[in-house]
Structure 1
Amino acid sequence: MNEQRPIGVFDSGVGGSSIWQEIHALLPYEHTIYLADSKNAPYGNKSKEEITRLSIKNTEVLLEMGAKIIVVACNTATTNSISEMRERFKVPIIGIEPAIKPAALNTSTKSIGILATKGTLTSDLFHKTATEFTQDINVVEIVGEGLVPLIEAGTLDSPKMIKLLQKYLTPMVKAKVDYLVLGCSHYPYLIPQIRNLIPNDIVIIDSGMAVARQTKSILERLQLLRTDVSKPTLKFYTNSEVKTLKFLLKDFSEEISVEKKDF
């Protein structure tokens, strides 16, 4: 079946574009629409009710644009709201949550670090996953307060960013973690900066590839793949300024369109 409707992706801003890149790499001929809800970023310090309201709003916008599947490219939205979203909408919905399981299963020091938002770390879904897989493991949980606004502003290498990262990563290094889980879809854009601040033997994990594989799997199972090999349309919308999104996606500038849109 040659299903032409797009994959819909949303995040509390520009960070989920790191997830979009993994999806596009795995499914290069799929049409995609990405919503960056930067006006309301970050979601991590909002109430569960507010996060759910915003997630429902974003999903409705994507469905109005014809999305055949929704990818929630936001850890906070997934861990707080995905069950409510799945009850409300008939379309397949894929979430993203911190990759605790692979870190817990592979650690040799029995110590792992998780850098995430407050909204993710305090959610029921995160607590359930962490409890299931980290019984005999030291877990250093750090709230990355202030990182998302700096990424949204495009200031990845600013002194303020480096100072914050040093503050958050130092307790993990002292605890001898050998896996660092990035529990926010914005954070993969900080991997170069993080790599400079931690020992080389610490493995950094994010969930992007797993989400891409799950998206492909569900599209195949439901026979919703686009089988054309012609150039797809790749549309990005933000309800804030377009500069940071264009900067983060500069390698795709000839393929994509980035526009400001109220939603």
Structure 2
Amino acid sequence: MNKQPIGIFDSGVGGTSIWQEIHKLLPNENTIYLADSANAPYGPKGKDAIVQLSIKNTELLLSKGCKLIVVACNTATTNAIKVLRDSYKTPFIGIEPAIKPAALQTKTNAVGILATKGTLSSELFSKTSGLFASNITVVERVGEGIVELIEKGALHSKEMRHLLNIYLQPMIEANIDHLVLGCTHYPYLIPLLKEMLPEHVKIIDSGAAVAKQTKAILKQHGLLNIVTLMPENLFYTNGDPAIMTSLLNATHTAEYLDF
């Protein structure tokens, strides 16, 4: 069981940012990554559709023998993880925007959140935000169009810079000192965001925290793989494999899979 792979799925290629953190922390683990790019982004879809897509991805990963599943998608986590945990015995790791550390660390009492519509409108996000950010200014922006540009390989395009300028301006005017990235596609924007934001703004994503939680749950269930020296890391997408391969810096090759 210990040598069985960790399964990871996202609405597209963005969750590879989570895979990289997991691989860095757990280099012995075999992994299978699933990018449902044909249905990206999940954000605008209704809760029922997101749950059904999450079940489809889970079933595929379980059919490939995964011992644990990381839902490397904020929208899928906030809308579907309770259903997944209630339906399967396999451990699940979710991801949600790191509003808690931003709210606790802010000095200007203002933080920004860039996320998808599905995440910002979810019950889970509303509950977390209410618990930790009720006494500060929270500037929320739906990153409409960002996922689509990343999915088609336009990460460094003029259009991307134009969109980010629109979303960041109200945050800069509100004097935010933390920007929370609420979508696993968004860490790929960090070099661009650093250019566009004031120097004092700290950018927070959830990748490292998810990797630590993955390790903790594997350890808790006695599933850590400490044996494999040459792990197998498989990447599947129902979109364009070349785009995912480019995000992985060609260290791994993605394959097309019709699912």
Q: Under TM normalisation by the shorter chain, which class is it?
A: over 0.9
Q: Structure 1 stretches of 5 or more lacking a match?
A: none
Instruction: Note the alpha carbon deviations across 1:18-72, whole angstroms, 9 max, x for none.
Output: 0000000000010000000000000000000000000000000000000000000
Contact 2:102 2:178 in 1 (8 A): yes
Distance 1:191 1:78 in 2: 22
Partner of 1:248: 247
Partner of 1:198: 197
Contact 2:3 2:228 in 1 (8 A): no
Instruction: Note the alpha carbon deviations across 1:147-179, whole angstroms, 9 max, x for none.
Output: 000011111111100000000000000000000
Residues 55-204 of structure 1 aligned to structure 2 (within 5 Å): 55-204=54-203
Q: Structure 2 stretches of 5 or more lacking a match?
A: none
Paired residues in the alignment total 259
Distance 1:244 1:178 in 2: 32
**Which amino acid counterpart does residue 106 of structure 1 have in structure 2?**
Q
Distance 1:93 1:162 in 2: 35
Instruction: Note the alpha carbon deviations across 1:79-99, whole angstroms, 9 max, x for none.
Output: 011101111111000000000
Distance 2:77 2:162 in 1: 29
Partner of 2:5: 6
TM-score, structure 1 as length reference:
0.97
Q: CA offset at residue 258 of structure 1?
A: 1.5
Residues 225-244 of structure 1 aligned to structure 2 (within 5 Å): 225-244=224-243
**Which amino acid counterpart does residue 254 of structure 2 have in structure 1?**
V
Distance 2:135 2:253 in 1: 47
Distance 1:173 1:227 in 2: 46
Q: CA offset at residue 257 of structure 1?
A: 3.8
Q: What secondary structure is seen at the aligned counterpart in 1 of 2:196?
A: coil
Distance 1:39 1:124 in 2: 26
Distance 1:77 1:221 in 2: 24
Distance 1:257 1:170 in 2: 37
Contact 1:179 1:204 in 2 (8 A): yes
Contact 2:44 2:118 in 1 (8 A): yes
**Which amino acid counterpart does residue 159 of structure 1 have in structure 2?**
K
Q: What secondary structure is seen at the aligned counterpart in 2 of 1:33?
A: strand
Moved over 3 A (4+): none
Q: CA offset at residue 232 of structure 1?
A: 0.1
TM-score, structure 2 as length reference:
0.99
Partner of 1:45: 44
Contact 1:234 1:257 in 2 (8 A): no
Partner of 1:258: 254
Residues 22-41 of structure 1 aligned to structure 2 (within 5 Å): 22-41=21-40
Partner of 2:18: 19
Distance 1:163 1:135 in 2: 31
Q: What secondary structure is seen at the aligned counterpart in 2 of 1:9?
A: strand
Q: What secondary structure is seen at the aligned counterpart in 2 of 1:113?
A: strand
Contact 2:239 2:256 in 1 (8 A): yes
Q: CA offset at residue 215 of structure 1?
A: 0.1
Q: CA offset at residue 250 of structure 1?
A: 1.2
Distance 1:24 1:56 in 2: 24
Distance 1:242 1:205 in 2: 28
Q: CA offset at residue 229 of structure 1?
A: 4.4
